[in-house]
A and B are shown apart, each in its own frame.
Chain A
Amino acid sequence: GENVEQHPSTLSVQEGDSAVIKCTYSDSASNYFPWYKQELGKRPQLIIDIRSNVGEKKDQRIAVTLNKTAKHFSLHITETQPEDSAVYFCAASDVNTGFQKLVFGTGTRLLVSP
């Protein structure tokens, strides 16, 4: 089955800096890669996703890149703000088969200091 690894586990940046979180996946059949933001005690919220037919996607300060050959994808947050502080999870799934189960990475705790 799919296995998703995520690094780093914690990331501390100053407000205004950029933050990058990286994930690798094992199953070459995976074709959908979402990123979720989870604040303490709350539900994960989808912030951006990418499908395997594109290499990059951007939404304001957030961007995701995908390298299918290397089986890794990254989340980039620019001009970080204190409200970006949360735990971020990457995930992977194959939307063409079965139940399209999402397998999550281990999470990255991002702390943005004012």
Chain B
Amino acid sequence: GAVVSQHPSRVICKSGTSVKIECRSLDFQATTMFWYRQFPKQSLMLMATSNEGSKATYEQGVEKDKFLINHASLTLSTLTVTSAHPEDSSFYICSARARTPGELFFGEGSRLTVL
């Protein structure tokens, strides 16, 4: 299957700082990537759809000014959590679709802890 890589896998930061998470498709080009958030023992909630060369599409209730998404190339999307607070602590996972319609491949996830 296709490979999606996410970095960093873990990050601890102080409240008020910004954190950037990278998502790369390693062996395919992804015009669309998705960012999910997962709280402990809960499901994956779609935050936004990242489109190469255009603005991201955010789900209802997700603050676009707080979660900045940049999809600058066909293999890289970044999520920046700005002015992070303890309630932003979560597992953030990106995903991308390869050639087969619908089939998504996930990155390893990034566990963010805001102190």
- Residues in A lying within 8 Å of B, measured CB to CB: 32, 34, 36, 41-46, 49, 51, 89, 93, 95-96, 99-107, 109
22 sample A-B contacts, Cβ–Cβ < 8 Å, listed by A number: A34-B103, A34-B104, A36-B106, A41-B91, A41-B109, A42-B109, A43-B106, A44-B44, A44-B93, A46-B104, A49-B103, A89-B44, A93-B102, A96-B101, A99-B32, A100-B101, A100-B102, A101-B46, A102-B95, A102-B104, A103-B46, A105-B43
Q: Is the CB of A43 within 8 A of B93?
A: yes
A93 to chain B, nearest CB (A): 6
Whether a CB of chain A sits under 8 angstroms from the CB of B105 is yes
**Chain B residues within 8 Å of chain A by Cβ, number:** 26
- Residues in B lying within 8 Å of A, measured CB to CB: 1, 32, 34, 41-46, 49, 51, 57, 91, 93, 95, 97, 101-109, 111
Complex Cα spacing A43 to B46, Å: 15
Q: Is the CB of A49 within 8 A of B102?
A: yes
Given A43-B109, A44-B93, A99-B57: A104 in contact with B103 (beta carbons within 8 A)? no
A98 to chain B, nearest CB (A): 9
> Which residue of chain B is the closest to A44 with respect to CB atoms?
B106
> Which residue of chain A is the closest to B101 with respect to CB atoms?
A95
Q: Is the CB of A32 within 8 A of B109?
A: no
A101 to chain B: which residues have CB within 8 Å? 34, 46, 49
| Residue among B103, B105, B111 with most chain A CB within 10 A | B103
Q: Is the CB of A102 within 8 A of B107?
A: no
A5 to chain B, nearest CB (A): 11
Say which residue of B44, B97, B105, B111 sits within 8 Å of A100 (CB atoms): B97
Q: Is the CB of A46 within 8 A of B1?
A: yes
Complex Cα spacing A100 to B57, Å: 13
Q: Is the CB of B101 within 8 A of A32?
A: yes
Q: Is the CB of A106 within 8 A of B43?
A: yes
Complex Cα spacing A103 to B60, Å: 14
Complex Cα spacing A45 to B109, Å: 12
